[in-house]
Each structure stands twice: as structure tokens, then as C-alpha cells.
Amino acid sequence: MKLTPKKRQAKSIKTRLIWSFAANILIIFLLFSVYAYIRSVTNKAEQVALELDEITSNIQDLKSDKQSFLLTETINPSFYETKENDYLTTHEENLNKIQEKLEEMYTNSYVHSAKVIPELRELEKDLQSYSTIFDSLVSVQLKRGFKSYGTEGDMRRSIYSVMNSGYSLDQVKILMLRRHEKDYILRKDTQYEEKLSKVVDQLIGDISRMSIDKYGKIYLNGALEKYRENFRALVKLDEQLGFYGHPGIKDRLDTQLAAIEGKLKSIHHLIVDYNNFWKKLNIVVLIVFALSILSVNAILLFYLLSRLGKPINKLSKSIQKIVEDDFIGELYTIKTKDEIGDLSNDFNYMIERMNERTEEIEIQKEELAQTYDKIETIRQIGAKISKHLKVDKIVQEFYHSLNNTLEFNSFLIGIYQENKLHYRGYSVEGKPYAFDRSISENNHLGVQCYERQEPIVSNNFLSSPELKHFLPVTTSERVNSLVYLPLTSSSKKLGVLAVHSEHINAYSDVQINMLGSIVTYLINALDTAVNYQNMESQVEAKTAEIDKHRQQLLDNNEILQGTLLQLEEKNKQQTSSIQYAKRIQQALLPNISLIRSSFNDAFVFYRPKDIVSGDFYWFEQKGDLIYMAVADCTGHGVPGAFMSILGREILSNLVNSKKFTSPAELLDELHVRIRVVLKQDKMNNKDGMDIGICILDESSNVLKFAGAHHPLYLVRREGGANLIDVIDGNKQSIGGHIFKKKEYEKFKEHTIDLSRRGDILSFYMCTDGYQDQFGGPEGRKFYKKTFRELMSNIADKPMYVQKSLMAIKIDEWMGEHSQTDDILIIGFQPKKETKRITLDLSSIDEILNV
């Protein structure tokens, strides 16, 4: 009997599985609903527990604020001035937070279920009691005060009025009062109240015996009584606050906080116990529902095994038999009215259809094999073409490959170069083609294909209306079918490929597609070959140019070798001459031992930039006069050396011909001599020198200095530190052309009395080579400021140590930099003055008689 669609749907496996699934869903829904309810209860319990933890934390903050207030703010003057502070504000905020949390808990249904409302009421009363006690603590503390504030301030002002009254009271007793006052404040011992009162009585008795006016006694007695009253009031306020065994407000606060914490713990235990009850209930519910789900699924499994397992097993064995027989035969027919019966019928129908499609699949298999052969042929042709680097070889290889693949009468490949298409190709008989076609001949199909970059295909060229106005590449043969393909790489247009046939409909779509695939390999090979050909041309041109330059270099090298030998010989001769000039220059310099013998100690740091130097130092001693100069001549090397010798000789002639006691006069005379010797009035000669000269008169122990652009540095000891004084010279040079800018002025002279300057450590004279030296991490100059700091730091050391330190410092500063200029520094320490004692003979007689 055929079932109606509704009955068939009701008996289907799908319907039965849906009902089973719905039963499972219902049980699971009930499970999760109950679980969600219990979980919400436990979440509320956890939330209440968290709120209680927050209240406990706020209670701890109250304790911390109270302790901080008592430790810091009770001794903070600003608290007594403003009656406010951050701790009191924070304390009030914490109390308000606790109160808000308690009010929220009153509205929580879980709190009502846990039956902790009475405990919360008690906790709220304790908090109100704590707040009242804390307010009384603040009030009493403000009344008590600190130092200049409150009762303690009144007490101190009373005793200060006695101490500053102007009456001569017993200061020992006044000090005893202050001592008892401080001892009480430190120790909080009430016995000091009695001691202080006795001293006050003694002072009042002293006042009554003092011979002062009546109003003075009244003033002093009143001030002392007020001081005693304030002290007693202070003691009462401290007792009220509580200290050392005297319970007070502070102890009451601690007791109240302990009671609050105890109630919080009790409430927390009640909440935890109630939460544990719900957790146990949750576990029981989960177990019951889990057993229900297992029961429903066990029933469903039994049904599936009894009603579905047997037919499915038979169907499976039948399918296996069909597979073994290459899908020949029929499946086991299941006559049930459910999906398994339908599946059996559908499998039988599918096998019938598969047998029908087998023949079609075999045909497609043969076509795929042919396609694979074509792909393999294209790949082999591409591999053969790609191995060549010459265009002619590629065209020849393409001809051989195309001859075995495609029917054609001729084929040509046009490569674009210099505004032309250079065609190379072959006929079917192997006849080669080689000709050019200008790109301007746009009536030819090859030019059209190249310009448009589009394929041109026709299987009936002579009858094609679209192509009747165009000519093929070759006109010497009959063309009916043709294929033109553009040859374009990723970077440029290479040319065009042309294939001709005399037959109509010579090329199918498959052949054209196959030709297009081969062209892909052809394009890559041609692109490489054209680039290689261009590179070869460039390399040949460059090689010829390099050979030409190489020959020119060889010819020039022979000439330079001869010139180099000549220059080396001349350089050797010049260097030898300059070395000899160096020995002469060094021989003319004063001996350092002679300089040291004339001073307490001295050093000379002399480092020329070249072999010979433009810097020089000069020393002469005539009787009690010691002459010493440091000069920097124009330029360095050989020109500077000539100037240094000239300057040294002129100075020596001047002091040997005349006794100069003034360095300024000596510089004026040196300036005149230099200009006369170098004929600077008549010739355009700009040479000159910067110089500093010292003259030391040992008889008077006086040092005189004058300078042309050169200073004298003096380092002295003052206040435990080394200070440097700079004695500047004139801003003009000796000789040269300075007078074109301004008038010549006499040199100024500076005098230093060494007998009155016992704090002098060292003198220094130098050229500018040291401070102008480049170096350091940034490649900048050493500069005057750094040089003066160096002299100041080393001035109290021995002279040989100072010289070494200066050498080490400049070497470290230079690093990889070359020396910039000649370097010359002289440091000296004048001899200490020896006091001469002259005795009158009459005075000696008087001494002897005595």
C-alpha cells in the first residue's frame, strides 16, 4: 500500500531522529536553565563576597587614614590653619563608600535570602558610632593644637610674654618651666604638671619680692597663671585623646574598628555558607540531568541499531560486490518506506547512469591523451628554441619544429630595430628569407599586427573584405590562409610572426592556440637573444675604447716615470737642504738649561709643523736684566724659518748695542728694524711676526711685559683655587701691512712687582698653534678657553710634569688629525726674592751693651 506524503514523512528516519534530538534539546535546555539559575545565585553570592572584601579594604583604608592623620597631620601647622587636610577628606570619602555599599546590599535579593540583614544593621550602627568618635578626635585635636596653634599655642604665647616682658626674672626657673613643658610633651607624664606648677609658684613668689611697679607684677602674675592654666588644659586634652596607659578617644576608635572587622567576618562566613549550599545543589542537579541525557541517548541508540543496522549492513555488502564487479549488476533492494529504501533505489539508478556515461568518459580520455601529447610537443619545441642565443639560430630551430607540427608554405619572424621590421624565415622547402620592411609601410599586414598588437587570422585571405586593402609580408607566393601574431615581452614590443598557407581553411582553432603557446617560448628566446646581441655590440665597442685608453695610459705612464724620477731626486736634494737648515735653526735657539738657571724652574714645549719652523723663542741676560721672547712669524716651514732667524738676530743686536729696560720700547725698535730690513715702505712685502717679550729685573724683582698679538698668562693661588690672569698685548703685529687699516700706536707696557705677588705659581708665553689645533670627536679647535683651563689645572706642578701633560693632552686631542701649525709654549717660575738685612754698627753696639 502506497503511503501518503505525510505518513511517509512521519515514518522517515529524519523525523524519528528529529524527535530524539528534540528530546535531548529539551532536557539540555532544562539543565542549562536550572544551571543558569543556580549559577546566577552563586554569582550574586560571589558579588556580595567581593563587595564585602571591598568594604574590608575600605575599613583598612580608614585605619591607614586615621594612623596617617595622627602621625603626620597633628603636627602639620597647615591643618590647624585650614582645619582641613587630605587624610580627613579621604577618610570621609571611604566612610561614604562603605555606607553606599551597605545601602546597595540592602536591596540585594541574595542578601535577604542569606538572612544577614540584622548583622548589616549592627555593622551600620558601629560605623556611625566610629564616625562620631573620629569627629570628636578631630575636634579635640584641633582644640589641643600644636606649637603656635590651639591650647599649646596659647600656652607658649603666655610663657613668651613673660620671657619677653623685659623684667629680670630668674632664667634658671624659666628654663625649668620650658624643660618640664617639653618633657611632658615628649613623655606624656602627668607628674610634670605638678613640677611645673611648683616652679610657677616660685616665680610668683620671686615677683612679689621684686622691686618693680604694681602693674608689672600684675602682668607677670597673670601671664604665669594663664600659662599654668593652659598647661593643665593641655594635659586634660591629652588625657581625653589618650596616651601611654590612659585610655581615650584613640583607644575607643581602635576598639570600634575591631568590632566592625569582627562583624564583617561574621557576615562573610554567613554568605560563604549560603553559597556552599547552592553549589552542592548545583552538583546534584547536574548529575540528575546527565543521567537523563544518557538514558534518552541509550534508547535512541537501541532503536538505531535494531531498525537501521541490519538493512544498512546488507546494503553495504551489496555495494562492495558491485564495486568488485566494476559496477555491473544490481544492488540489494530494501523495501522499507524510509530513506534507506530510497537510498537503495537511488543507487540502482545511479549504476545504470554510470554504465551509460562510461563510453563518453572513454572518448574524453582519448581526447585528453591527444591534448597531453600536444602540450608535450609544445614544451619540447620551447626547450629547443630557448637554448639558442642567436636570432638566426632561433629562426632556424623554429622552422624545424614548425615543419613537424603545422602545415605552411612559408613563415617569417620580423624583429623591430631602427624603425624597421627585419624579417628572417623559411619556405616549406627550406628556402631562406631575409629582407627588411619599414614600419611606415602600414599597408602590410606585418606592420599592422605590430602597430595594433593584435593577432590577425584569416582562413580565406583573398575573399576577406576586412583585409582586401592589405598585403602579406611576401607577395611572391599565393596566400589563402594566414596567421599573424605580435611578439611582445613584458618590457617591449619585439616584432611579429607570420605563417602563410596556399590552402583555404588550413588552420583550425586548436592549431592556432597551439601556435600561440609555442610563440610564448619564442618571445622569451628572442627577447634574450636581442638583449644578448645588443650587449655583445656594446661590449665590443667598450673593449675597443678601453684598449685605446689603455695604450694612451701606457704611453703617459712612461713619461710620468721619467718625470717622477727627476722629482724624487730634486725632492731628496731639497729635503737634505731643509734638514741642514733645521740643524742651523735649532743651534740658534737658546739652551733650555740656560733658561732654567735664570729662573726657579722653566720648560720649553717646541713642536714645529714642518722640518723648520716659523715659531722661535729668544733669551738673553745682561747683568741683572733677563730678556725672553716668544714669536710667531708669518707662515711656517722655510719662509717662517727665514723670518725667525731675522727676528732673533735683530733682537740680539738691539740688546747688545743698547740697554733696554722697557719691553715696549724694544718692540717699537724691532718693528722699525723689520720694516727697514724688508723694505716694506717701498715693496709690497707683508711679512711680519706676532711676539711677546718679558724683561725681568732681578735687582728690583720686577717683571715687565709687552706683546704684539701675544698675551702673557699668569696663574696664581687664591682661596684654595688656581686662577688665571691674562695680560693682553697690543692688537697689532710687528712689520706687515697693518698700517693700511689704522695708524701705528706705541706698544703698551705691563709691570708686575713679584715681591708683592707671593701667590704666583707660573707664567706662560705661547704662540697660537696649540689652541688652534684641530681634533677631538667633532674635529674642532682646542680653543683659548680649554687651553687656559689646562694651564690653570697644572700650574702648581713641576715644570717638567707640566710639559709632559701638555704634550699628552695635545696628542690625545689630535688623534687622526694632522698638525695644523707650529706649536711653542714656554712656562717659567721666577726666583723667590732673597731679603737683604743691613745692620747699623751703632745698633750692634747697643745690642751688645744690653
- The tens digit of pLDDT for each residue in 658-667 reads 889 999 999 9
Q: Reading across the β-sheet that carries 410-417, which strands appear in turn?
A: 432-438, 420-427, 410-417, 493-501, 481-488, 456-458
Domain boundary among 215, 247, 279: 247
Residues 505 and 624 in one domain: no
Please say if the pLDDT value at position 841 is more than 60: no
Establish if 594 belongs to a structural domain. yes
CATH of the domain at 436: 3.30.450.40
Establish if 359 belongs to a structural domain. no
Q: Which residue has the cell 715681591?
A: 755
Whether the CB-CB separation of 227 and 162 falls below 8 Å is answered with: yes
Please say if the pLDDT value at position 172 is more than 70: yes
Establish if 284 belongs to a structural domain. no
Higher pLDDT, 589 or 372: 589
Please say if the pLDDT value at position 262 is more than 60: yes
Cα–Cα distances in angstroms (integers) from residue 326 to residues 323, 354, 362, 413, 556, in the given order:
5, 11, 15, 54, 92
Establish if 201 belongs to a structural domain. yes
> In the prediction, which pLDDT does 496 show?
92
Q: Residue-wise over 27-46: b if at least 16 C-beta within 10 A, else e?
A: beeebeebeeebeebbebbe
What is the mean pLDDT of the segment spanning 420-445?
Answer: 87
**Full domain range(s) for residue 218:** 147-247
Establish if 59 belongs to a structural domain. no
d(CA 572, CA 576): 6
Give the whole-number percent of the chain exceeding pLDDT 70: 86
For residue 669, what pLDDT band results from cuts at 50, 70 and 90?
A: very high
Domain boundary among 191, 226, 247: 247
Whether the CB-CB separation of 691 and 643 falls below 8 Å is answered with: no
Higher pLDDT, 520 or 624: 624
What is the mean pLDDT of the segment spanning 176-184?
Answer: 89
> In the prediction, which pLDDT does 840 show?
42
> In the prediction, which pLDDT does 713 show?
96
> In the prediction, which pLDDT does 762 show?
93
Please say if the pLDDT value at position 723 is more than 90: yes
Residues 475 and 622 in one domain: no
Burial class for 621, CB neighbours closer than 10 Å (0-12, 13-18, 19+): middle
Higher pLDDT, 638 or 839: 638
> In the prediction, which pLDDT does 847 show?
31
CATH of the domain at 807: 3.60.40.10
Residues 29-58: pLDDT tens digits?
A: 777 777 677 767 677 767 777 777 788 888
> In the prediction, which pLDDT does 846 show?
41
> In the prediction, which pLDDT does 528 show?
80
Residues 531 and 595 in one domain: no
Among 31-45, 120-134, 277-291, top mean pLDDT goes to 120-134
541 sits in which H/E element: helix 509-588
- Bridge partners (DSSP) listed for residue 415: 422, 495
d(CA 607, CA 612): 10
Residues 479 and 593 in one domain: no
d(CA 352, CA 330): 9
d(CA 560, CA 848): 97
- pLDDT, mean over the chain: 82
> In the prediction, which pLDDT does 106 show?
75
For residue 749, what pLDDT band results from cuts at 50, 70 and 90?
A: very high
Residues 483-516: pLDDT tens digits?
A: 999 998 877 888 999 999 988 988 888 788 878 8
Residues 615 and 760 in one domain: yes
Helix axes 799-814, 784-794, angle to 10 degrees: 150
- Identity of the residue numbered 727: I
Residues 518 and 616 in one domain: no
**In the numeric block, which cell numbers belong to residue 718?**
687664591
What is the mean pLDDT of the segment spanning 635-647?
Answer: 78
Q: Reading across the β-sheet that carries 712-718, which strands appear in turn?
A: 601-607, 823-829, 760-766, 712-718, 721-727
Q: Is 84 helix (H, G, I), strand (E, B) or coil?
A: coil
For residue 573, what pLDDT band results from cuts at 50, 70 and 90?
A: low
Helices (H), 117-248: 117-144, 150-163, 171-187, 191-209, 214-241
Higher pLDDT, 706 or 80: 706
Residues 756-793: pLDDT tens digits?
A: 777 889 999 999 999 999 999 888 999 999 999 999 99
Residues 659 and 522 in one domain: no
Burial class for 697, CB neighbours closer than 10 Å (0-12, 13-18, 19+): middle
What is the mean pLDDT of the segment spanning 246-255?
Answer: 84
For residue 265, what pLDDT band results from cuts at 50, 70 and 90?
A: confident
Residues 181-203: pLDDT tens digits?
A: 889 888 888 888 898 999 999 99
d(CA 612, CA 580): 10
CATH of the domain at 186: 1.20.1440
> In the prediction, which pLDDT does 192 show?
87
Establish if 122 belongs to a structural domain. no
d(CA 637, CA 697): 35
Establish if 644 belongs to a structural domain. yes
> In the prediction, which pLDDT does 462 show?
84
Please say if the pLDDT value at position 123 is more than 90: no
> In the prediction, which pLDDT does 739 show?
46
> In the prediction, which pLDDT does 683 show?
76
> In the prediction, which pLDDT does 212 show?
85
Domain boundary among 498, 514, 536: 536
d(CA 54, CA 375): 80
Please say if the pLDDT value at position 572 is more than 80: no
Q: What is the DSSP string of 389-447?
A: -SHHHHHHHHHHHHHTT---SEEEEEEEETTEEEEEEEETT--EEEEEEETT-TTBHHH
For residue 198, give every residue at least 6 positions away whose Cβ sits within 8 Å of its Cβ, in sequence order, or none.
Answer: none
- Spatial CA neighbour of 778 closest among 815, 734, 831: 815
Please say if the pLDDT value at position 370 is more than 70: no
Q: Which residue has the cell 549504476?
A: 351
Lowest mean pLDDT among 209-223, 627-641, 659-673, 702-716: 627-641
Q: Residue-wise over 769-796: b if at least 16 C-beta within 10 A, else e?
A: bbbebbbbeeeeebeeeebbebbbebbe
- Counting the structural domains of the chain, the total is 3
Lowest mean pLDDT among 117-121, 134-138, 174-178, 324-328: 324-328
275 sits in which H/E element: helix 249-307
What is the mean pLDDT of the segment spanning 387-398?
Answer: 81
Contacts by residues 198-204 (CB-CB < 8 Å, ≥ 24 positions apart): 199/173, 200/224, 200/225, 200/227, 200/228, 202/173, 203/169, 203/170, 203/173, 203/174, 203/177
Residues 581-600: pLDDT tens digits?
A: 677 777 778 988 889 988 99
> In the prediction, which pLDDT does 611 show?
80
Please say if the pLDDT value at position 849 is more than 60: no
Whether the CB-CB separation of 446 and 484 falls below 8 Å is answered with: yes
What is the mean pLDDT of the segment spanning 708-715?
Answer: 94
What is the mean pLDDT of the segment spanning 648-669?
Answer: 92
Residues 525 and 594 in one domain: no
Establish if 584 belongs to a structural domain. no
> In the prediction, which pLDDT does 222 show?
92
Lowest mean pLDDT among 321-335, 583-597, 633-647: 321-335
For residue 848, what pLDDT band results from cuts at 50, 70 and 90?
A: very low
Lowest mean pLDDT among 30-34, 80-84, 238-242: 30-34
Residues 470 and 606 in one domain: no
> In the prediction, which pLDDT does 825 show?
96
Residues 395 and 459 in one domain: yes
Give the whole-number percent of the chain exceeding pLDDT 90: 21
Cα–Cα distances in angstroms (integers) from residue 572 to residues 562, 576, 577, 609, in the given order:
16, 6, 9, 19
Q: Residue-wise over 77-100: b if at least 16 C-beta within 10 A, else e?
A: eebbeeeebebbebbeebbeebbe
Please say if the pLDDT value at position 798 is more than 90: yes
Q: Is 749 helix (H, G, I), strand (E, B) or coil?
A: coil
Residues 295-319: pLDDT tens digits?
A: 877 777 776 666 666 677 776 777 7
Cα–Cα distances in angstroms (integers) from residue 732 to residues 119, 184, 739, in the given order:
102, 82, 9
Please say if the pLDDT value at position 813 is more than 90: yes
Please say if the pLDDT value at position 27 is more than 80: no
Residues 632 and 529 in one domain: no
For residue 371, what pLDDT band results from cuts at 50, 70 and 90?
A: low
Cβ atoms within 10 Å, residue 206: 13
> In the prediction, which pLDDT does 418 show?
84
d(CA 729, CA 706): 6
Residues 676 and 777 in one domain: yes
What is the mean pLDDT of the segment spanning 222-244?
Answer: 88
For residue 845, what pLDDT band results from cuts at 50, 70 and 90?
A: very low
Whether the CB-CB separation of 447 and 481 falls below 8 Å is answered with: no
